[in-house]
């Protein structure tokens, strides 16, 4: 029952007019509000009207409009391409479909045949599907098709379709998922697997893939190493049946560990396999976890190293023989790398060079054993020119600094490309031989010198004596005889000194050089006529045993020729080129024009043999002496000792 009229209806009743059909809100007695279409006419105070309640119909229309809006929002925002087709044409495309086909707006495609954008090889199946959708109103299963973009490029799509009515016409709602990348990945995977199989098949290395302990793939190289006939199928065989029993436990543990850690790899190891005939073969194996046909598997790459193992064993035996020769060789043997560091040193070489063991010299720079490094460079240049040297004489230095002579036979070591990678040398100690040669040379030189002294100097003195005696026999004046006797005595003294010199000179170089403490030599001159002071301590020089005679002659020169000399000083200093020992006094000094003459034999006021003998003694071991004093301010003698010919036990 109507409780409240709509205002318009009430107005019509009040005015007694015709009520046009319209929707009015009517409140019923139960309080509900209904939407009603009312039309009618009044007769007096009565109303003749028709009522049509459309409340539910309006709710359905509102719900439909909301549903359509929701559907459009879903379609418009869907990531998949969606289009509606009617009459074989595009009726609607969502934004994803526009992007898929390469269109910038719907106007480019709406109303155009959708078959134009489907690859021709799919046209027949599409026609069948459209008939099924349009006429039979039945959905079609998921299929893969190829669409064409507006620029002609192909798109792989995964398509599903359902019947759909649009604008009163039968059509289809089509969903497309772009699977171009997936299809490419699948193609790449197939090609990769094909390459993988071809690579394994043609690999020089043997390859076996096993899964759950059984072989699923084996290439020709693996079949050959196992000892099977070419073409034999090893599929299904137990992998461990080909592994030597000594290694099976290790292999099982290794496989378990690899499968437990995806991507696990076993580095290169050596094992033994068993061939089909029961013989063993040494193999070098590398294994990795992998996936084969979607399941965990292990790929084993191996190669036959039986021949290599035999060669290594032969090489070890050869090296043992070689090392036996090296360790027992009397001459020294050394090998260096390209940087000049020792890599092999025979015990005899270490002993020869004064080291406790060969190991002590390993990696030590080879330059440390050469007294003259420039001469070593000359030797290396000669090796480059003629490929080797034989019996090349060099002065070498022992660990304690002492020098000895050696004969070297050496050559370079080369790599496969011809590059120098080191040197090898045999060292022979020829000090004794060198000393003998030098001794013979010195003996000959001294014999020649002594012969000249004996024949010339003493002959001159004897001639004078004979003349004086002859004159003495013819004169009668005792005073004149006395003068002649003085001259005779002087000549006799000269002959005596010359003979004393020859006695000293003949001992020069006879004995081998030795280490001598300078401070101990100088002690014997502390009580001489001239005061001697020195602070030299702990300095030893490798020289002829007659070295004290050098300092004796220097003291004799200071006393005889210093004039007003009262004091002499001896000092020493070490530099980069060796040791310098200085002897200086406070006498009158040596004139500039006599600094070199004083070392000549026979020069001077006395016999002229003292400083000459001093230089001869020092020269034997490469030591030099010269006078560098300032005339009028005292004599100054510099004795230069080269490196390797001196050592210092404590600071001087």
What pLDDT was estimated at residue 365?
92
Rounded to two decimals, the pTM is 0.38
Report the C-alpha gap between 241 and 258 in whole angstroms.
20
Pairing, β 19-28 against β 33-43: antiparallel
pLDDT band at 323 (very low <50, low <70, confident <90, very high): confident
**Looking at the predicted structure, is the pLDDT value of residue 274 above 80?**
yes
pLDDT (average), residues 215-220: 89
Confidence of residue 1 (pLDDT cuts 50, 70, 90): very low
What pLDDT does 3 receive?
A: 43
Cβ burial of 618 (10 Å; 0-12, 13-18, 19+) is buried
C-alpha 213/C-alpha 308 separation (Å) is: 29
Q: Verify that 174 and 213 share a domain, yes or no.
A: no
Name the helix (H) or strand (E) containing 188: helix 180-202
Torsion of Cα atoms, 145 then 148 then 152 then 153, to 10°: -50
- Extract the tokens encoding 139: 């959905």
Report phi then psi at 310, rounded to 5. Answer: -65, -40
Q: What gap in Å lies between CA 322 and CA 315, rounded to an integer? A: 10
Of 359, 355, 405, the closest CA to residue 542 belongs to 405
Task: Give the C-alpha separation, 24 to 22, whole Å.
Answer: 6
CA distance 585 to 531: 10
pLDDT bracket for residue 22 (50, 70, 90)? confident
Per-residue confidence (pLDDT) for residue 451, from 0 to 100: 58
pLDDT digits (tens, 9 = 90+) for 23-35: 777 777 777 777 7
Q: What is the CATH number of the domain that holds 72?
A: 3.30.450.20
> Where does a domain end: 429, 453, 474?
429
Q: How far apart are CA 453 and CA 99, in angstroms?
A: 121
> What is the predicted pLDDT for the residue at 382?
93
Q: Is 320 a domain residue?
A: no
Looking at the structure, tell me whether residues 407 and 439 fall in a common domain: no
Closest CA to 435 of 516, 549, 513: 513
- 49 and 75 assigned to the same domain: no
Note whether 542 and 576 are same-domain residues: yes
333-357 pLDDT per residue, tens: 999 998 999 998 888 889 889 999 9
Q: Do residues 285 and 197 both lie within one domain?
A: yes
Residue 412: the pLDDT is 93
- pLDDT category at 410 given cuts 50, 70, 90 is very high
Report the pLDDT value the prediction gives residue 9, as an integer from 0 to 100.
54
Averaged pLDDT, 507-522: 78
514, 550 contact by CB (below 8 A): no
**pLDDT confidence of residue 572:** 93
Number of domains in the chain: 6
Q: In the prediction, which pLDDT does 293 show? A: 78
* Tens of pLDDT, residues 249-273: 999 988 888 888 766 777 788 999 9
Beta bridge partners of 269: 285
For residues 587 and 565, the answer to whether their CB atoms sit within 8 Å is: yes
pLDDT of residue 422: 92
- Both 252 and 359 in one domain: the answer is no
Task: Tell whether 458 and 559 lie within a shared domain.
Answer: no
Report yes or no on 317 lying in a domain.
no
Which of 135, 154, 178 is the endpoint of a domain? 178
> Residues of the chain with pLDDT > 90: what percent?
20
pLDDT, average across residues 84-102: 89
Nearest 5°: the CA angle 139, 140, 143 is 150
Given a contact cutoff of 8 angstroms between Cβ atoms, the answer to whether 235 and 223 are in contact is no
Place of tokens 């043999």: 609
What is residue 652's predicted lDDT score, i.e. its pLDDT? Answer: 42
Per-residue pLDDT tens over the stretch 40-64 = 766 656 666 676 777 666 666 666 5
> Does pLDDT of 508 surpass 80?
no
Res 315 pLDDT > 90: no
Q: Which domain holds residue 535?
A: 514-648
Q: Which of 127, 105, 99, 104 is nearest to 114 (CA)?
A: 127
pLDDT at residue number 197: 67
Q: Is the pLDDT of residue 239 over 70?
A: yes
Choice between 104 and 480, residue whose per-residue pLDDT is larger: 104
For residue 206, the cross-strand partners are 302
Give percent of the chain above pLDDT 70: 76
Q: How confident is the model at residue 563 (pLDDT cuts 50, 70, 90)?
A: confident
Q: Are residues 527 and 625 in the same domain?
A: yes
Domain shared by 519 and 630, yes or no: yes
pLDDT at position 209 over 80: yes
- Return left, alpha or beta for 155; rule: phi > 0 is left, psi -120 to 50 is alpha, else beta: beta
* Band of residue 501 on the pLDDT scale cut at 50, 70, 90: low
Is 60 exceeded by the pLDDT of residue 212? yes
Is there a contact between 624 and 543 (Cβ–Cβ < 8 Å)?
no
**Is the domain of 293 the same as that of 333?**
no
Residue 429 to residue 408: CA distance in whole angstroms: 9
Average pLDDT over every residue of 231-254: 91
Higher pLDDT, 558 or 1: 558
Compute the distance between CA of residue 177 and CA of residue 246 in angstroms, rounded to an integer. 57
Residue 580 and residue 640 in contact, taking contact as beta carbons nearer than 8 Å: yes
Q: Strand 567-575 vs strand 531-534: parallel, antiparallel, or unpaired?
A: parallel
Domain boundary among 152, 178, 204: 178
For residue 306, give the nearest of 336, 275, 347 by alpha carbon: 275
Q: For residue range 454-492, what is the model confidence (pLDDT) as tens digits?
A: 555 666 666 766 676 667 666 666 666 667 677 776 666
CATH number of the domain that residue 527 is part of? 3.30.565.10
Which range, of 288-297, 368-377, 637-646, averages the lowest pLDDT? 288-297
- pLDDT of 137 higher than 80: no
State the residue for tokens 């080369």: 414
Strands 567-575 and 578-585: antiparallel
Q: Distance between CA 641 and CA 399 in Å, rounded?
A: 18
Classify the phi-psi angles of 150: left when phi > 0, otherwise alpha if psi is within -120 to 50, otherwise beta. Answer: alpha
Query: Is the pLDDT reported for residue 11 higher than 70?
Result: no
| pLDDT given at position 361 | 92
- Residue 557 forms part of a structural domain: yes
Contact status, residue 280 vs residue 254, Cβ threshold 8 Å: no
Look at residue 315 and tell me if it is in a domain: no
| Four-residue CA torsion sign, 226, 227, 230, 232 | negative
* 300 lies in the same domain as 340: no
Which of 108-122, 406-420, 496-510 shows the lowest mean pLDDT across its residues?
A: 496-510
Asked if residue 227 is part of any domain, the answer here is yes
What beta strand segments (E) does 372-512 contain? 388-397, 403-414, 420-429
Cα 257 from Cα 261, distance rounded (Å):
6
Q: What is the separation, in whole angstroms, between the first and last Cα of the chain?
A: 139
Nearest-angstrom CA–CA distance, 241 and 248: 9
Which of these, 497, 508, 518, lies nearest to 581 by C-alpha position? Answer: 518
Q: Are residues 461 and 561 in the same domain?
A: no
Among 175-179, 264-268, 307-311, name the one with the lowest average pLDDT: 264-268
């Amino acid at each position: 029952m109507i409780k409240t009229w709509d205002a318009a209806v009430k107005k019509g009743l009040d005015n007694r007019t015709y009520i046009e059909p319209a929707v009015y809100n009517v409140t019923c007695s139960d309080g509900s509000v209904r939407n009603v279409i009312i039309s009618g006419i009044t007769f007096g105070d009565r109303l003749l009207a028709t009522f049509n309640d459309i409340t539910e119909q309006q709710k359905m229309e509102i719900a439909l409009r909301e549903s359509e809006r929701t559907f459009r929002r879903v379609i418009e925002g869907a990531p998949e391409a969606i289009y509606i087709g009617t009459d074989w044409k595009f009726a609607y495309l969502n934004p994803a479909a526009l992007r898929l086909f390469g269109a910038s707006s719907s106007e480019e495609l709406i109303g155009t045949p959708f078959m134009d954008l489907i690859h021709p090889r799919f046209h027949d199946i599409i026609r069948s599907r459209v008939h099924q959708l349009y006429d039979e109103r039945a959905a079609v299963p998921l299929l893969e098709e190829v669409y064409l973009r507006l620029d002609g490029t192909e798109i792989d799509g995964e398509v599903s379709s359902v019947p759909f009515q649009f604008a009163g016409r039968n059509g289809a709602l089509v969903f497309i998922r772009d699977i171009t990348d997936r299809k490419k990945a699948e193609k790449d995977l197939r090609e990769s697997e094909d390459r993988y199989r071809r690579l394994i098949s043609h690999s020089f290395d043997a390859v076996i893939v096993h899964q759950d302990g059984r072989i699923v793939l084996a290439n020709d190289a693996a079949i050959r190493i196992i000892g099977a006939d070419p073409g034999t199928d090893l599929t299904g065989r137990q992998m461990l049946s080909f592994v030597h029993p000594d290694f099976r436990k290790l292999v099982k543990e290794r496989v378990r560990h690899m499968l437990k850690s995806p991507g696990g790899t076993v580095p290169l190891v050596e094992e033994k396999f068993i061939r089909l005939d029961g013989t063993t073969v040494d193999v070098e194996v590398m294994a990795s976890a992998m996936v084969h046909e979607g399941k965990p598997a292990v790929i084993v790459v191996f190669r036959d190293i039986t021949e290599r193992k035999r060669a290594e064993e032969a090489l070890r035996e050869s090296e043992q023989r070689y090392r036996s020769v090296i360790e027992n060789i009397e001459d020294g043997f050394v090998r260096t790398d390209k940087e000049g560091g020792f890599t092999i040193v025979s015990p005899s070489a270490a002993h020869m060079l004064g080291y406790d063991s060969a190991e002590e010299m390993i990696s030590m720079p080879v330059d440390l054993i050469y007294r003259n490094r420039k001469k070593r460079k000359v030797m290396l240049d000669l090796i480059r020119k003629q490929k080797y040297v034989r019996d090349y004489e060099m002065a070498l230095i022992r660990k304690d600094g002492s020098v000895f002579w050696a004969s070297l036979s050496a050559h370079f070591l080369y790599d496969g490309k011809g590059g120098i990678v080191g040197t090898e040398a045999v060292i022979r100690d020829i000090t004794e031989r060198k000393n003998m040669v030098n001794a013979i040379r010195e003996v000959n030189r001294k014999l020649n010198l002594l012969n000249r002294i004996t024949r010339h100097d003493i002959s001159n003195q004897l001639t004078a004596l004979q003349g004086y005696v002859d004159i003495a026999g013819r004169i009668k004046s005792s005073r004149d005889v006395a003068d002649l006797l003085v001259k005779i005595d002087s000549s006799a003294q000269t002959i005596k000194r010359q003979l004393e010199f020859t006695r000293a000179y003949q001992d020069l170089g006879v004995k081998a050089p030795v280490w001598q403490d300078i401070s101990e030599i100088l002690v014997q001159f502390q009580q001489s006529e001239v005061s001697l002071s020195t602070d030299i301590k702990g300095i030893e020089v490798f020289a002829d045993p007659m070295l004290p005679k050098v300092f004796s002659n220097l003291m004799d020169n200071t006393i005889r020729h210093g004039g007003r000399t009262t004091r002499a000083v001896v000092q020493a200093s070490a530099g980069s080129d060796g040791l310098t020992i200085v002897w200086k006094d406070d006498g009158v000094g040596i004139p500039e024009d006599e600094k070199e003459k004083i070392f000549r034999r026979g020069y001077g006021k006395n016999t002229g043999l003292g400083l000459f003998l001093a230089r001869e003694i020092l020269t034997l071991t490469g030591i030099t002496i010269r006078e560098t004093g300032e005339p009028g301010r005292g004599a100054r003698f510099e004795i230069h000792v080269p490196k390797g010919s001196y050592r210092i036990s404590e600071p001087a």
